[in-house]
Chains A and B, each alone.
Chain A
Amino acid sequence: MATRETTIAVRDAIARGERTATDACNAALATIDALDAAGPALHAFQLVLAERARAKAVALDHAFAKDATPAGPLHGVPIAIKDNIVVNGTIATAGSKMLETFVAPYDATVVERLEAAGAVIIGKTTCDEFAMGSSTENSAYGPSKNPIDPTRIPGGSSGGSAVAVAAGMTTVALGSDTGGSIRQPAAMCGITGLKPTYGRVSRYGLIAYGSSLDQIGPFAGNARDAALVLEVIAGHDPRDSTTARRPVPSFSSALTGSVAGLRIGVPSRLLEHGVDPEVLSSFNAATASLAANGATIIDIELPHSRHAISAYYLIATAEASANLARFDGVRFGLRVPGGSLTEMYDATRGRGFGAEVKRRIMLGTYVLSAGYYDAYYLKAQQVRTLIQRDFTTAFASVDTVLMPTSPVPAFTFGERVDDPLQMYLADVFTVSANLAGIPAISIPCGTTTTGLPIGMQFLARAWDEASILRAADAWERIHAHASPHT
């Protein structure tokens, strides 16, 4: 495994003229060559944009040679992008056969902002089909593998982005998080993953799954790099009316390195059942260590969180059933010929979507159908209000909530694929942040006796990414070996 550099180190070396953007780009491409299709064949990338990336890097170097001024805060930094986020002129499959040949006709807002800041997009990463899954096993193009143990899943749905960073192919990557799809793979691969507040980052150009839950965010090797990328991609976008018109603070300057005086709420009752003993003992050791460094640990109740999985899977699938109606063989994507228009629709959707996507469309269609709406969808939205209120109550007495990211470490391929309910239940700790719209960051907390990464997550009030980035950064300093690879 390559030693991980930081984004800031890459950027600063280029800004000092010690290294070129082309060199950084070529190094990333060489690491991908060594590890992705060859070597351990990690399959982090669905598509490597080598030529496009080299051209961008050369252009950055030419401009820098003239005026010695970086294009922006990510000048020359190679970055990987989940394949459900569109890059103009390149294929975006979202892990689906439905979009095997779809060439995006525009850039996502986050892509525009990254490139304006000088970042070099190196490729598109493997993900579960339309971001539905917790392992990348639902990708129509084959899963990605965990670089710590390639017999195991990397987590999902943004698994490829997590692998790219964990294996040192890039220092940062973007994913999307609807019910944990950034935080869970970050935890399973031993890196940092941030889901911002709903409305913090534009979803324009993100292929929609659950529109009231989806949020784009960064993967990085540490909190400081995650803060830097968030500063670049955050902020109001006229093309996404759910983005907030509030200023983006300097998250980096919030990193004081200290947890002294920080009030951390731990929902201990929620952790009583179903958490792997090694995950729990690692988590408990981390809370003790935070307390020893001046944080106050406060036991809190999140009484409705045990219903979060049910509420999440009813709401997310309902939204998915509506969002995925657009894949009908008319305007873009696959078309399977049929005698009539409806035969064409049925055949295209029946054969273009994979098993998990069809399962979720069916569930979502059912909960929205006449006679069932009140019992399932409306009830789930009411429970969602109660989950949100639980957090409001908790944040009256604590600054951040801390809990494990996943109740289990990375599992092996095929272990859960035949039992969707068991797969869903593993999202127990991640879905609440999406339901409540609040920010959460997963950071490495330890490893199992067999060396598998264990993650924990800090959650905060809406718009308070600064607090969780500060807590995450301080934890890294406390736990100097937070990542087994640095």
Chain B
Amino acid sequence: MPSDTKRADEARFSRADVARIATLARLELTEPELDLYARQLGGILEHAEQMQSVNTDGVPPYTGATTDDAGDALRDDMPVASLSVEAALQNAPQGDRVAGTFVVPKVIG
């Protein structure tokens, strides 16, 4: 276990922790949501803590067991039809059909 791993802190989630995760997840949260998630996520992780008692020395992480016979999952490298630009843009909140692009707010000032 890496030394920077925090586990048994008593207040597992502060509002600041929740705000930091929300930034990583690109979620705008309201003030009441910060409080609610601090409490609820703390409770869920506290329960998950029981898992730490399982001896997993030398146990490989699961990588999928039932696709063992999938073998070479690559298909032949032949072009196949894909969505048209028109179809791909049909659900775009803002698109430019002439240029064939999605449009987003200005990225570079």
Contact = CB atoms under 8 A, between A and B. Distances in A.
A199 interface: yes
Interface string B76-109: 0000000100011011111000000010111100
A106 B83 contact: yes
B66 A438 contact: yes
A318 to B, nearest CB: 12
Nearest to A378: B61
B67 A244 contact: yes
Contacts of A380: 48, 51
Interface in A363-404: 363, 365-366, 369-372, 374-376, 378-386, 388
A146 to B, nearest CB: 26
Number of contact residues on B: which range applies? Answer: 35 or more
Contacts of B45: 363, 366, 376
Contact of A351 (B28, B69, B70): B28
A346 interface: yes
Given A342-B26, A358-B29, A375-B52, A363 B44 contact: yes
Contacts of A329: 93
Contacts of B21: 362, 365-366, 369
B32 to A, nearest CB: 11
A334 B44 contact: no
B93 A199 contact: no
| Interface secondary structure of B, over-half rule | loop
Interface residues of A, number: 82
A197 interface: yes
Contacts of A310: 47-48, 50-51
Nearest to A308: B51
Contact of A105 (B44, B51, B75, B83): B83
Nearest to A376: B48
Given A197-B66, A246-B69, A346-B28, A374 B59 contact: no
B14 interface: no
A379 B71 contact: no
Interface string A341-370: 111111101110101001101110110011
Given A330-B92, A362-B18, A435-B62, 12 more contacts: A238-B75, A245-B70, A307-B51, A310-B50, A331-B92, A341-B106, A343-B105, A349-B25, A362-B25, A365-B24, A365-B25, A371-B6
Interface of B: 1-2, 4-7, 18, 21-22, 24-30, 33, 36-37, 40-41, 43-45, 47-48, 50-52, 54, 56, 59-62, 64-67, 69-71, 73, 75, 83, 87-88, 90-94, 102, 104-107
